[in-house]
């Protein structure tokens, strides 16, 4: 009796919750493909690409949680990523801590870094904040070079323990952690805390006048962002089994910015989708090595030019619309809201 009840419940959820909106159908199909991909195409190279997509999706979403929602533009987000990777690697190599403990510990180190960095950055805004955050990965790189016997210096660290015993197991573990992390961040942004994050970006002064402690919430944003970025760094370190100071490079931080802008800043899901589009696309462009970066740049510029709010937001605007009365989404082809039955106007505005 339990199995038929569970199947009926699953069917009901799919019918009444997922199939009601095109975006949910796309997300469901996307997750289904990720789940079945190793079974259908057990190619190790393709699995490696998808593992990197999961890691960078988690990392990019963590950047969007901080910079997209609170407006605290961070050009040194690679600091959290590198700290999580190095802390996890050092614990594993020197103290023989297993990855199941070293990775969360590395994430906690990144949280502490977020707290330490967030305090001096509280009074900075705009360009000044962005330029200040660039300095922190450079400082950490200098520290790495000062203690080469411990950190490996320019060569880095290698010989870390494996996450699991096979590439397929690594794929499922990393993809599951990234999916759960991104889902948690998405729920945070739709909660009261997320509303305050967004309000800080739009009008911090007005929020202070209303009696909200913006300092506390900005520090919280730095810590949460550091947590998920550090988690991504730990996963990266134990998957690659080797790390180096290149993780802290400006290219890492700016690539996150590109992914977020491409998918749509202040969305979380846009950052995730952008990584799964652009990262494999960059691999495809290896067919034309001379024009690889040029072709990649053209794709980015076209999206920014014609879809300034991001590709994913543009797609959602085409397939769905919001009801101003009950604030629910409906299929764009419908003339009335699926909940309150309010008639939609012929012209629509993007959110």
Q: According to the model, what pLDDT value does residue 210 have?
A: 87
Joined together, the tokens standing for residue 249 give 């490079």
Q: What percentage of the chain exceeds 70 in pLDDT?
A: 94
Helical packing angle, 269-284 and 292-306, nearest 10°: 150
Q: According to the model, what pLDDT value does residue 15 have?
A: 67
Closest-CA residue to 222 (of 126, 343, 133, 346): 133
Instruction: Tell me the per-residue pLDDT of 267-316, one tens digit each, with 9 for 90 and over.
Output: 999 999 999 999 999 999 888 888 888 899 999 999 999 999 999 999 98
Give dist(CA 65, CA 228) in Å, integer. 10
pLDDT tier for residue 223 given thresholds of 50, 70 and 90 = very high
DSSP class of 1:
-
Q: According to the model, what pLDDT value does residue 351 have?
A: 44
Q: According to the model, what pLDDT value does residue 336 have?
A: 77
- Per the structure, the complete domain to which residue 337 belongs is given by 309-351
Residues 341 and 235 reside in one and the same domain: no
Residues 343 and 250 reside in one and the same domain: no
Give dist(CA 262, CA 182) in Å, integer. 17
Residues 260 and 194 reside in one and the same domain: yes
Instruction: Tell me the per-residue pLDDT of 319-332, one tens digit each, with 9 for 90 and over.
Output: 887 777 776 777 77
Phi, psi at 341, each rounded to 5°: 65, 25
Q: What percentage of the chain exceeds 90 in pLDDT?
A: 62
Q: According to the model, what pLDDT value does residue 349 have?
A: 47
Q: Mean pLDDT in the chain?
A: 89
| CA 91 to centroid of chain Cα atoms | 25
Joined together, the tokens standing for residue 237 give 């370190």
Q: Given a cut of 90, is residue 237 above it in pLDDT?
A: yes
Q: According to the model, what pLDDT value does residue 78 have?
A: 94
Q: Given a cut of 80, is residue 234 above it in pLDDT?
A: yes
Which residues have CB under 8 Å from 49's CB, separation 6+? 279, 280, 283
What radius of gyration, in Å, describes the C-alpha atoms of the chain?
A: 21
Lowest mean pLDDT among 94-103, 126-135, 176-185, 188-197: 126-135
Residues 272 and 291 reside in one and the same domain: yes
Residues 95 and 112 reside in one and the same domain: yes
pLDDT tier for residue 1 given thresholds of 50, 70 and 90 = low
User: Looking at residues 336-350, what average pLDDT do you find?
Assistant: 64
Q: Given a cut of 90, is residue 126 above it in pLDDT?
A: no
Question: Where is pLDDT greater, at 319 or 16?
Answer: 319
Joined together, the tokens standing for residue 184 give 């948690």
Q: Given a cut of 60, is residue 348 above it in pLDDT?
A: no
Residues 69 and 193 reside in one and the same domain: yes
Residues 195 and 60 reside in one and the same domain: yes
pTM for this model (two decimals): 0.92
Q: Given a cut of 60, is residue 52 above it in pLDDT?
A: yes
DSSP string, 109-170: HHHHHHHHHHTTTTT--HHHHHHHHHHHHHHHHHHHHH-HHHH-TTT-EE-PPPSSSSHHHH
Lowest mean pLDDT among 80-94, 118-132, 257-271: 118-132
Residues 126 and 224 reside in one and the same domain: yes
Residues 111 and 184 reside in one and the same domain: yes
Q: According to the model, what pLDDT value does residue 174 have?
A: 97
Q: According to the model, what pLDDT value does residue 227 have?
A: 96
Phi, psi at 346, each rounded to 5°: -70, -35
Joined together, the tokens standing for residue 5 give 């009840």
Lowest mean pLDDT among 63-72, 225-234, 289-298, 337-346: 337-346
User: Looking at residues 79-105, what average pLDDT do you find?
Assistant: 95
User: Looking at residues 188-210, what average pLDDT do you find?
Assistant: 90
Residue where a domain stops, chosen among 306, 328, 343: 306
Question: Where is pLDDT greater, at 128 or 274?
Answer: 274
Residues 185 and 318 reside in one and the same domain: no
Q: According to the model, what pLDDT value does residue 103 have?
A: 96
Residues 324 and 274 reside in one and the same domain: no
pLDDT tier for residue 10 given thresholds of 50, 70 and 90 = low
CATH number, domain of 83, equals 1.10.3470
| Contact (Cβ atoms closer than 8 angstroms) between residue 139 and residue 71 | no
DSSP string, 99-126: HHHHHHHHHHHHHHHHHHHHTTTTT--H
Q: According to the model, what pLDDT value does residue 350 have?
A: 47
Domain count, the chain: 3
Helical packing angle, 311-319 and 269-284, nearest 10°: 120
DSSP string, 227-268: HHHHHHHHHHHHHHSEE-GGGGSHHHHHHHHHHHHHH-SS-S
Residues 314 and 187 reside in one and the same domain: no
């Amino acid at each position: 009796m339990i199995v038929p009840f569970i199947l009926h419940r699953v069917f009901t959820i799919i019918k009444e919750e997922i199939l009601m909106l095109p975006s949910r159908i796309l997300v469901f199909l996307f997750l289904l493909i990720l789940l079945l991909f190793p079974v259908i195409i057990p190619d190790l190279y393709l699995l490696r690409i998808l593992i990197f997509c999961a890691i960078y999706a988690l990392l990019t979403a963590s950047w969007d949680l901080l910079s997209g929602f609170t407006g605290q533009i961070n050009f040194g987000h690679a600091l959290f990523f590198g700290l999580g990777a190095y802390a996890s690697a050092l614990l594993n190599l020197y103290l023989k801590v297993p990855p199941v403990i070293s990775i969360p510990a590395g994430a906690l180190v990144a949280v502490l870094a977020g707290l330490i960095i967030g305090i001096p950055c509280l009074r900075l805004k705009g360009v000044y904040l962005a330029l200040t955050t660039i300095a922190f990965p450079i400082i950490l790189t200098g520290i790495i070079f000062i203690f080469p016997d411990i950190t490996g210096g320019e060569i880095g660290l290698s010989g870390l323990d494996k996450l699991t015993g096979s590439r397929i197991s690594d794929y499922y573990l990393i993809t599951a952690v990234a999916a759960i992390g991104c889902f948690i961040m998405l729920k945070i942004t739709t909660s009261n805390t997320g509303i305050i994050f967004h309000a800080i970006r739009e009008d911090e002064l007005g929020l202070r006048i209303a009696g909200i402690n913006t300092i506390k919430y900005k520090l919280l944003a730095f810590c949460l962002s550091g947590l998920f970025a550090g988690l991504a760094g730990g996963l990266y370190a134990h998957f690659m089994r080797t790390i180096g100071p290149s993780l802290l490079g400006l290219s890492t931080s700016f690539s996150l910015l590109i992914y977020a802008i491409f998918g749509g800043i202040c969305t979380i899901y846009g950052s995730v989708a952008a990584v799964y589009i652009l990262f494999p696309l960059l691999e495809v462009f290896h067919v034309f090595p001379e024009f690889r970066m040029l072709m990649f740049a053209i794709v980015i510029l076209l999206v920014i030019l014609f879809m300034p709010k991001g590709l994913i937001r543009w797609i959602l605007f085409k397939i769905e619309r919001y009801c101003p009365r009950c604030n629910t989404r409906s299929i764009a082809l419908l003339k009335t809201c699926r909940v309150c039955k309010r008639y939609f106007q012929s012209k629509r505005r993007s959110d």
